[in-house]
């Protein structure tokens, strides 16, 4: 993510939010701006919102700066932002591993967006918690990638810097749902410029699953592990 030191105010480009459907029937929201080599961007799970993230200067300036050199394609992962959350209600097990948030299913989101945009080959940028999904995609679809970029991420969430943050955010989210006490803004100090903490907290709140188990969602993300696939993620040709 762009640091506070590189933050700049930008004119927001025109972008139309569109929707596509994955192979397993989940609706995915996405937009694209810029021109050139296509780059599909996956953002951290709790701050991905195809519309509201444009109200956050650091995120907006990152997208605009990237679009000066690339055709930027951004989407909300399943279960977050404007993408479909209804798959939780289709008889899916309550076990975290089967919540519809596995790395394999997340890779289906990327495939669906690439097909909808008509991009046969592209650069894939995996950010934060979406790193394991990006690695999964690279291992299973190497012929589609021009390059794989992993930013501030890991192959295995457990014991990583995000592990504690994801579990804490899940716990605080449950408390907020039960008591109305909001998630502490301090939770976002490691992610956001200090002057944007409130905005990032609002973005996370807009992403909060409705009518679903926050605990199960958190458990599913905490189990993401693509480390066994690293040997299969070869340099694209």
The whole-number pLDDT of residue 216 equals 61
* 3-class SS shares of the chain: helix, strand, coil, % to 5: 45, 15, 40
The whole-number pLDDT of residue 215 equals 58
- The CA radius of gyration of the chain, in Å to the nearest whole number, is 17
Say how far apart CA 40 and CA 221 lie, in whole Å.
21
Kindly tell me the burial class for residue 192, based on how many C-beta atoms sit within 10 Å of its own C-beta (0-12, 13-18, 19 or more): buried
Whether residue 95 has pLDDT greater than 50: no
Q: What are phi and psi of 121, to 5 degrees?
A: -140, 140
Residue 120: CA atoms inside 13 Å, Cβ hemisphere, count? 0
The whole-number pLDDT of residue 17 equals 94
Q: 86-99 burial by CB neighbour count: b if 16+ within 10 A, else e?
A: ebbeeeeeeebeeb
The 10s digit of each residue's pLDDT in 18-71 is 999 998 888 999 999 999 999 999 887 678 899 999 988 888 999 999 999 999
CATH 3.40.50.300 assigned to 4-227: no
Q: Where are the domains of the chain?
A: 4-227
> Average pLDDT in the 188-213 region?
76
pTM above 0.95, yes or no: no
Say how far apart CA 233 and CA 132 lie, in whole Å.
11
Residue 189: CA atoms inside 13 Å, Cβ hemisphere, count? 4
Instruction: Mark out the alpha helices in the chain (DSSP H runs).
Output: 57-67, 103-116, 131-140, 161-179, 197-207, 214-222
Instruction: Give the residue with greater pLDDT, 40 vs 217.
Output: 40
Instruction: Give the residue with greater pLDDT, 161 vs 235.
Output: 161
Cα dihedral value 60, 66, 69, 73, nearest 10: -90
Handedness of CA 16, 206, 1, 225 (dihedral sign): negative
Instruction: Name the residue with tokens 């299969």.
Output: 232
């Amino acid at each position: 993510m762009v640091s506070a030191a590189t933050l700049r105010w930008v004119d927001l480009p025109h972008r139309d939010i569109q929707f596509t459907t994955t192979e397993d029937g989940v609706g995915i929201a996405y937009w694209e701006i810029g021109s050139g080599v296509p780059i599909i961007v996956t953002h951290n799970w709790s701050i991905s919102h195809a519309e509201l993230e444009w109200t956050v200067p650091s995120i907006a300036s990152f997208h605009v700066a990237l679009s000066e050199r690339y055709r930027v394609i951004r989407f909300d992962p399943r279960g977050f932002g404007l993408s479909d959350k209804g798959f939780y209600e289709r008889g899916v097990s309550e076990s975290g591993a089967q919540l519809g948030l596995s790395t394999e299913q997340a890779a289906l989101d990327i495939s669906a967006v690439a097909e909808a945009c008509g991009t046969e080959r592209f650069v894939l940028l995996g950010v934060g918690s979406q790193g394991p999904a990006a690695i999964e995609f690279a291992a299973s679809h190497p012929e589609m990638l021009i390059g794989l970029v992993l930013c501030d991420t890991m192959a295995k969430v457990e014991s990583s810097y995000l592990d504690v943050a994801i579990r804490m955010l899940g716990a605080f989210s449950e408390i907020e749902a039960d008591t109305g006490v909001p998630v502490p803004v301090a939770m976002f100090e490691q992610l956001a410029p200090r002057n944007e903490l409130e905005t990032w907290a609002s973005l996370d709140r807009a992403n909060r699953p409705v009518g679903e188990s926050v605990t199960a969602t958190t458990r599913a993300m905490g189990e993401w592990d693509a480390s066994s696939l690293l040997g299969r993620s070869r340099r694209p040709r």
